[in-house]
Structure 1
Amino acid sequence: MFSNILDEIRLLFRKDKESYLCFYKILGFYPRNIEIYQQALLHKSSSVKAKGRLLNNERLEFLGDAILDAVVADIVYKRFEGKREGFLTNTRSKIVQRETLNQIAVKIGLDKLIKYTTRQSSHNSYMCGNAFEALVGAIYLDRGYATCKFFMEERIIKPYLNLEKLSRKEVNFKSKLIEWGQKNKFLIEFNLLEQTVDEQQNPVFETQVVVEQVPAGQGKGYSKKESQQEAAHETLNKIKNDPQFIDTIFAEKAAREQAAAEENPTSTDATDALTAEADTLPVQADEQNPESFDTEVKEETTVTEKYDDVERIIAEAEEAAFQLTEETETDSEETKITT
């Protein structure tokens, strides 16, 4: 409170009062170094040159992503006392995922302040969420960790997020990954790596996702379903954040398609039939029989068209993969764990 009074006094002597007031409405406090906040809203498509280098919000986004993870983990840990690690991790993920951050950014009016080119905006469905992360990075540099936590608790979570309801919301990462693979004609497999037991003799499963024969995410859980969800979640994060992984699976996919074309160049009808059959595969594999994991459905399709705009494909894939659903799955045969 006392700090805000001092900032209000300083504001009387500043020329750009409107900018400070605009940020105050969003943050609940006045910026000390407003240039950092302005940079947080500067998309790379509208970079400016300063001191011999281009300035945009990418570095602040990197910092804000890490700070946001820490702050939300702190809040969730204290809010849900006694809950196990898997529950806390999933709840944090639901808060910090791009779709949620996009919605929050729009609700607080951040989308109207971002500087970007019109052409670029159509290819970046997570621009608002990225700017929100950059804003958190700016808050950390300007005011420190405690203010970041205040901002998330008082300005974001209390007015916009119901943590109890959000924690119960089922986000089916496996279905989203399979949808992404079917849409973009990628081969996706869920492989059981090992089955062990913990100190209480509860079964523990470890699953790895393989995309186009390239190892992707891994996950552990007290059921095969839980380990698959964790592995799918990690894979979706790699699709979103790992350009090298994207390049590798695209290269493997192209090589597979080329080999198939050389092996049977005239079987257009068969190719179309395979593609049509793959597109009608159910999104969810059979989860009811725990022993059916080894016969997991493998999405295997043959592409029938060439894609030239790789950025468009990745943007569409990300949007499909991370769009939240209200699905609730049942798994009567899953191993029950008492926490």
Structure 2
Amino acid sequence: MIERFKRWLRIESDSKNTPHSIRFKHLGDKLGIIILPEHNKIFEQALRHRSIVDNEKFDSFETYERLEFLGDAVLDLIVTEILFEKFPAENEGFLTKLRAKIVRGDTLYQMAQKLDLNTYLEIGDRAAGQGIEYSKSVLSDVYESLIAAIYVTAGYEKAFQFVQNNIETLLNLEEVVNQVDNYKSVLMEYSQSLKLKLPKYSVVSEHGPGHNKTFHVAVFIENEKMGEGSGKSKKQAEQQAAKAALEKIEEAAR
């Protein structure tokens, strides 16, 4: 009887220390949550890039994209609630702009990097080595999909606590408040101050399926290319191109 009990204990211990279970233990520690074994599947999906469909083991709906869709909406509500409580004397315009700064790709990417989410991402064999796990758009999407996974498995309150903790510990909210959020406007003002022609934006390329395109845009001043940027929309790509141009101008002025 004692020997059988010892064997059972060893089996239980081994099952808790498989690479699979250790991975989710580490992820849970990183996120500050407990991932129960019965919830592993949904967290696997939250970390599964669409390139995995090439392996013919999964359908597209089994990647992180569905969860990202949900996470995007949950994140918007959580950040809205946090800002509403944190800034009782600010008007709707301030709150809307600050929310946009927090939920945009750059900020989510910053938090995803600090959580080392790239180390947990599952990608397809043919996409390996392409640096997908370091992509800004991918990591910001994965951050949202994980919010959805927490929301689905543990409820709104846990998802709220996760986002609130990230904002408090991974971001400098004062810096976010003061961030420039319209690089195109700043670049236009720069051009006007030097009596130059206004910046012109041109789509260099676009790729991806219709529902999930990525646009690559270049910005020119006086026919000189000043910067390039990418985004999920032309408007977003233009902002990134303008930002790159301003960084180039700042670097040249040093």
For the aligned pair, the TM-score class normalised by the smaller chain equals 0.5 to 0.7
**Structure 1 residues 148 and 49 mapped into 2: Cα distance closer, same or farther (>3 Å)?**
farther
Distance 2:32 2:120 in 1: 17
Matches within 5 A, 1:209-288: 243=210, 277-279=222-224
1:159 aligns with 2:169: yes
Shift of 1:168: 2.6
The answer to whether the 8 A contact 2:230-2:237 is kept is no
The answer to whether the 8 A contact 1:124-1:315 is kept is no
**Structure 1 residues 121 and 149 mapped into 2: Cα distance closer, same or farther (>3 Å)?**
same
Give the aligned partner of residue 200 of structure 2: 182
Give the aligned partner of residue 28 of structure 2: 24
Give the aligned partner of residue 170 of structure 1: 180
Matches within 5 A, 1:1-339: 14=16, 15=18, 16-32=20-36, 33-47=39-53, 55-116=62-123, 117=127, 118-119=129-130, 121=132, 125-154=136-165, 156-175=166-185, 182-184=200-202, 243=210, 277-279=222-224, 318=236, 321-322=239-240
Shift of 1:159: 1.2
Partner AA of 1:135 in structure 2: L
The answer to whether the 8 A contact 1:125-1:315 is kept is no
SS at 1:91's partner residue? helix
**Structure 1 residues 185 and 60 mapped into 2: Cα distance closer, same or farther (>3 Å)?**
closer
Partner AA of 1:43 in structure 2: H
**Structure 1 residues 30 and 104 mapped into 2: Cα distance closer, same or farther (>3 Å)?**
same
The answer to whether the 8 A contact 2:46-2:67 is kept is yes
TM-score (norm 2): 0.65
- Report which stretch shifted further, 70-79 or 170-179: 170-179
**Structure 1 residues 313 and 97 mapped into 2: Cα distance closer, same or farther (>3 Å)?**
closer
Shift of 1:122: 9.2
> Deviation digits for residues 112-155 of structure 1, max 9, x if unmatched?
2112223472995411111111111111111111001100112x
Shift of 1:43: 0.7
Compare the two structures and name the one with the higher helix fraction: 2
Distance 1:86 1:101 in 2: 21
The answer to whether the 8 A contact 2:83-2:99 is kept is yes
TM-score (norm 1): 0.51
SS at 1:170's partner residue? coil
The answer to whether the 8 A contact 2:118-2:134 is kept is no
Identical-residue share of aligned pairs (%): 27
- Report which stretch shifted further, 121-130 or 23-32: 121-130
Q: How many residues align?
A: 208
Distance 1:20 1:170 in 2: 37
**Structure 1 residues 315 and 20 mapped into 2: Cα distance closer, same or farther (>3 Å)?**
closer
Distance 2:184 2:137 in 1: 21
Shift of 1:183: 4.1
The answer to whether the 8 A contact 1:102-1:128 is kept is yes
Distance 1:171 1:146 in 2: 30
**Structure 1 residues 313 and 96 mapped into 2: Cα distance closer, same or farther (>3 Å)?**
closer
**Structure 1 residues 182 and 77 mapped into 2: Cα distance closer, same or farther (>3 Å)?**
same
SS at 2:200's partner residue? helix
Distance 2:79 2:61 in 1: 31
Distance 1:324 1:104 in 2: 23
SS at 1:137's partner residue? helix
**Structure 1 residues 123 and 103 mapped into 2: Cα distance closer, same or farther (>3 Å)?**
closer
Partner AA of 1:68 in structure 2: L
Shift of 1:243: 4.7
The answer to whether the 8 A contact 1:99-1:324 is kept is no
Distance 1:103 1:323 in 2: 19
Partner AA of 1:160 in structure 2: L
Partner AA of 2:182 in structure 1: N
Partner AA of 2:119 in structure 1: K
Distance 1:39 1:120 in 2: 20
